[in-house]
A and B are shown apart, each in its own frame.
Chain A
Amino acid sequence: MGAYVLKRVARSILTLIAITMVVFVLTHLLGNPVAMLLPADASNELLNYTRHSLGLDDPLIVQFQRFVVDALQGDFGPSLFQGVSSRDLLVRSLPATGLLAGTAFIFASVIGLTLGILAALKPRSWLDNAVSLVSITGVSIPEFWLALLLIVFVAIPSNFLPTAGYGTPLHLILPAIVLSIRPLGRIAQIARGAMVDELRQPYVVTAHSKGLPVRTIIRRHVLKNAGIPIVTIAGIEVVDLLSGAIIVESVFGWPGVGWLAGNALRAMDFPLIQTVVVWAALVTVTVNLLVDLSYAWLNPRVGNQ
C-alpha cells in the first residue's frame, strides 16, 4: 500500500513538472502580448521600451530560466496587464471559485447520487426514464445558453435574483445551478449504471434473502462496491469545477479562476495564463491522486497489487 501511494505521488509530481514546461512553450507561441498592453497607435519606441521592460526581448532560454526560478518559488511573475503578482491574483480569485464550485458540486453529487440510486432500484420504471432524461439533458445542455436562459426567464422576471455579480447568497444561486447541471447528469448516469451492475451480483441476492433491509444493503455493501466509477466521475467533475468555469463565471460576472483565465487569454497575459494553467494542472493531478488513493480504500485489492 505504501509503495502504491509513493508511486502515485512521484508520478503526479513528474506530470506537474512536464505540464509546467509545456505551458511555458505553448504560451510563448500565442503571440505578442505587448500589442495588447498598448494602444494600436503607440510609437515603435514605446513598444520596444515596454517589451524590454517586461523582459520579452530576452532570448527564450533566458526567459525560460527566469520562469523556472519563479516557478520553484510558486510564482510565475507579475501579470503583464495588472502589474501585480500572478500568484496573488490567483489566490484572490480562489475563494470565489471555491464557493461556486463547492456549492455546485454538493448540489450535483447529492442530487445526482440520489437520483442514480433511485433509478437503479427501479430500472425501466417512469422514475428511471425521468432520471435518464434529466441526465441526458444535463450533459447535453450548453452552459452559456442555459445561463442566458435563466437570466432572461428567471432573474429578470423574478425581480429578486440578481442577473450577475458576486457578494451575496442570492448571487450564488443561478451560477451554481448552471454549473451543477452537467455534473449532476453525469453522476446520476454513472451512479445508476454502477448500481444496476452491483445490484445484479449474487451477494446482493444473498443479503436480501438473509432479510437485510434494502437501505442497509445499499449503504453497507452495494455503494462501496459501486463506488469506484462514481468516485472517478466525481473526481473529473471536481477538476472541471475547481479549474475555473470560464463561461459561467464570465456570464455571471463571478470573479473566480475561470473569469481570471478568460481575462488572461484575452489580454495575452503570459504569466497569468501560465499561473492559471498550472493551477488547473495542479488541481487535476491532486484530485487524480486522491481518486487513485480512494480506490485502495474502496477496493483493498487495488492497494495490494
Chain B
Amino acid sequence: MPRSSTPIGHRSRFARAAGLLTSLVLMVAACGSAAPPEQGAQSPGANGTPAGALATKITVAWAEDQPADLDRQIGARGSVTDQMYVVTDPIMKIGVDGSLTPGLAESWTDVDASTLRIKLRQDVTFSDGAKFDANAFKASMDRLLSPESRAGASSFPTLHEVKVVDPYTVDLIHDPNITLAKEVALSAYMYSPKQMAESPDSIKTGPIGTGPYVVKSYQSGSSLVLQARDDYWGKDVFANPTIKDVDIRFGLEPRVRLAMLQSGEAQLAMNISPDDAKQLNQDQILNLHSPELYFIRFAFKQPITADPNVRHAINLAVDRKAIAQLFGGLGDPASQMWPRTASGWVDRPVPTPDVATAKSLIEQAGYAGQTIHMTYSADYKPQMSDVAQALAGMIGQTGLTVELRNLDSATYKTYIRDLDNAEPLTVISVSYDTLEATRTLDIRVACAGTMSTYCNPDVDALYQQAVQEPDVAKRTAILQQIEVALEKDDAVVPLVNPPLLWAKSAKLDFTPLSFPAAPFATMTLHQ
C-alpha cells in the first residue's frame, strides 16, 4: 500500500480538515435564530392556537423525584403526587398566611375536643359521574386510614374514625389535635367511590377525582399528562382553566429542567437551584418560600453537647445571614424553629454572631482544641453540603474542630431516628406544610419524639396544652412560650428557611397559592 505524502503536506491537509470541522460545528450551533430565543417564547401556533391568543397547553419540567404511582391515598407523599390536587379538589384550602377557606367543605366546626364536624358541598361530582357526598368522603378516608396506607398514618396520626352524620355531613373522631382541619386540607384526597369499589388498581395510574383535570396518560416515573374537564362542576366556583393540557415531565436533571425552559420546551420548571436562577430574568423566578427549616440538632446524650456552654457557643458562632447567602441570597435566615407565617412566631431579630464570646465559652467548658462530629446528607435536601461546610468553618472559629460525615439519603433517614447513636451535631430539616408549629414539635423536640434528643418536661406540658387549645390567640401564646424555652435551653440551632424556586416562562401568568398545590387551573399562558 502506498505511503502518505510529505510532513509539510500532512500539516496543510490536517489544518484544512480541522478548519472544516470547526466551521461545521459553528454552523450547527448557529442554526436557527441568530439571537437566543426569548426565554419561554413559543413559535406561532406551537400550542395549537393562533398567535396572539392564549395558549392551551403547558409543559412542566418537574424535579428529579419519582412518584411511586399516583395513588395518594396509599402511597407516601411525593411532590408529583401532591399535584393530584388538580385531579381532586381539596376539602379546604390553605392560604399563604395559613388560613383555611372552603373547598369541598362548606364549613367545619369542633363539636368537642375529639370531634371535627365537616359540612360538604352538595353540587360536586367526580369526573366519572359519581356523586361526592358523605359516603364518598368516608370511603376515601377509610382507605387513607387503612393499615396498607403509607400516606394516612403519617398524615393523620390522631384520626381514628370517620362517621356519616347525614348525606352531606361527617364527623371526624380524633385524639386532641388542633391541627386536624389543616391535615385534612393538605392530605385528604377524595377519589371516586365507584373507582375504589370496581377497580382500585387503576387509581395508581389514573385516580378519578372531582378536580378540574383528569389524568389522560401516565408513564411511570416519566410523564403525566392532564386534561381539563369540560364538565368540571367548579368552573364558576373555583376556576375555569384556560390551560386545557398539562404535560408534566419528571425525573429530569436540574440543568435539563432549566434548559427546557430556556429553549421554550417547558413553560414552568420546578425546583431550580439558586445558581441556575441567576441565568434567568428576575420576573421569571418564583420564590415560593417553602415552609421548611434547616437546623442543627444537638445530641444531649453526648457529653460535649450536653454542656449548655458548648451549645450556646455554637449558637453564637453561626452566622445565619451568611448561611442564607448560600441559597443565592434567597434563603431567609432563621431566628427560631418555625417560619414567620407559622403560628407561634416570636417577633425577634435574627441573632448576630459573636465569635469572641463563643470562643470564650468553649474554653471555659474545657473543649478548646477538641473534635466534634457533624452529620448531614448532601443528597437529602438541596445545598445541605454547602451548609454543612459553612457550619464547619463557623464552628471551627470557636476552637472546636468539626469533622463532617456525609450520609446517603437512606442511611441518613435511618440515622436521624437512631437517637442512642446520634452524633453531637446533625443538620436536619423540618417542613411545616400546615404552617402549624405543633405539627412537628412532637417529633423533633418532645421527650418522646422519634427524632428528638432533647427533653424538657415543661416544654412537653406546654405542647400538650397547645394541641388542645382551640383558640388561635391562646395557642399562639403557648407556642411562643415553647419557642422561648427552646431558645433558653439552646435546644436547637435554627439556621435558614431555604427558598423553593420555580422558574416560569415570561409569558406565563401564575400567582402562587398555598403550598404545595400548583394551580394549573388558574394559570394563563400568553402567545
Contact = CB atoms under 8 A, between A and B. Distances in A.
Interface stretch (A7-15, A32-40, A108-116, A285-293): A32-40
B251 A159 contact: no
Contact of B36 (A123, A157, A160, A162): A157
A159 B33 contact: yes
Contacts of A84: 69, 204, 220
A251 interface: yes
B32 interface: yes
Contact of B413 (A36, A49, A152, A153): A36
B443 interface: yes
A50 B242 CA distance: 42
Interface in B439-460: 440, 443, 450-451
Interface in B239-270: 249, 251-253, 255-256, 259-260, 262-265
Interface in A13-44: 30-33, 35-44
Contacts of A158: 28, 31-32
B294 to A, nearest CB: 13
Contacts of B220: 82, 84, 89, 92
Most buried by A among B1, B28, B204, B264: B1
Nearest to A268: B410
A166 B10 contact: no
Given A123-B4, A163-B259, A255-B221, A154 B154 contact: no
Contacts of A250: 251, 253
A255 B250 CA distance: 11
Contacts of A36: 409-410, 413
A38 B154 contact: yes
A251 B253 contact: yes
Contact of A154 (B3, B5, B28, B416): B28
Given A125-B4, A263-B221, A163 B154 contact: no
A93 to B, nearest CB: 9
A226 interface: no
A233 interface: no
A154 B252 contact: no
A164 B413 CA distance: 31
B10 A125 contact: yes
Given A31-B414, A164-B260, A259-B251, A43 B17 contact: no
Chain B interface mostly helix, strand, loop or mixed? Answer: loop
Nearest to A80: B68
Contacts of A35: 409-411, 413-414
Contacts of A229: none
A199 B157 CA distance: 77
Given A44-B450, A159-B32, A81 B68 contact: yes
A68 interface: no
A63 interface: no
Interface string A117-151: 00001111110111000000000000000001001
Interface string A218-236: 0000000000000000000
Interface residues of A, number: 62
Contacts of A46: 150, 153-154
Contacts of B14: 126, 129-130
A28 B68 CA distance: 21
Given A42-B154, A130-B17, A165-B249, A159 B37 contact: yes
A213 interface: no
A81 B67 CA distance: 8
Contacts of B265: 162-165
Contacts of A166: 222
A81 B66 CA distance: 9
Interface in B121-167: 147-148, 150, 153-154, 157
A94 interface: no
B252 A164 contact: yes
Contact of A41 (B5, B150, B154, B222): B154
Given A44-B450, A124-B3, A153-B29, A251 B414 contact: no
Contacts of B66: 81, 263, 266-267
Contact of B440 (A41, A164, A255): A41
B219 interface: yes
A73 to B, nearest CB: 21
A151 B265 CA distance: 12
A83 B10 contact: no
Interface string B381-416: 000000000000000000000000000111101101
A156 interface: yes
A253 interface: yes
Contact of A122 (B4, B147, B154, B408): B4
Contacts of A156: 36, 259, 262-263
Contacts of B37: 159
B45 to A, nearest CB: 14
A33 B153 contact: no
A148 B43 CA distance: 24
B4 A154 contact: no
Interface in B1-51: 1, 3-5, 10, 13-14, 17, 28-33, 36-37, 43
14 contacts: A35-B414, A39-B77, A49-B153, A81-B66, A83-B68, A83-B69, A84-B220, A123-B4, A129-B10, A157-B29, A165-B265, A250-B251, A252-B256, A253-B252
Interface of B: 1, 3-5, 10, 13-14, 17, 28-33, 36-37, 43, 61, 66, 68-69, 75-77, 147-148, 150, 153-154, 157, 204, 219-223, 249, 251-253, 255-256, 259-260, 262-265, 408-411, 413-414, 416-417, 440, 443, 450-451
Given A35-B414, A129-B14, 11 more contacts: A41-B154, A44-B417, A89-B220, A126-B13, A128-B4, A154-B29, A157-B30, A164-B252, A164-B260, A164-B265, A267-B66
